[in-house]
Amino acid sequence: MQADKYPFAQELITDTEGNIRKVVIDFHDYLRLLEAIEDEGLILAMKTVEQEIPLNIDEALAQL
């Protein structure tokens, strides 16, 4: 496998059989990827509760 097939990879570290074991990427690219993963998690969480009725603070505390 070649690093040019992976958009963020600067270097691929393989085992003796040629299987990719590690990927070296720029730290800023890593932060961008991390932010994208967190954003996706937030979107998924928002979708799971979009049909719920909002509660005020007193109602929420009463349910606890």
Mind listing the pLDDT tens digit for each residue in 44-55? Answer: 999 999 999 889
15: Cα separation from own chain's centroid: 26
- pLDDT band (50, 70, 90) for residue 3: low
Q: What is the three-class DSSP state of 21?
A: strand
Mind listing the pLDDT tens digit for each residue in 12-50? Answer: 999 999 999 999 999 999 999 999 999 999 999 999 999
Q: What is the three-class DSSP state of 12?
A: strand
* Of 46, 9, 51, residue with least CA distance to 30: 9
Question: CA 12 to CA 52: how far, in whole Å?
Answer: 45
* Of 23, 64, 43, residue with least CA distance to 35: 43
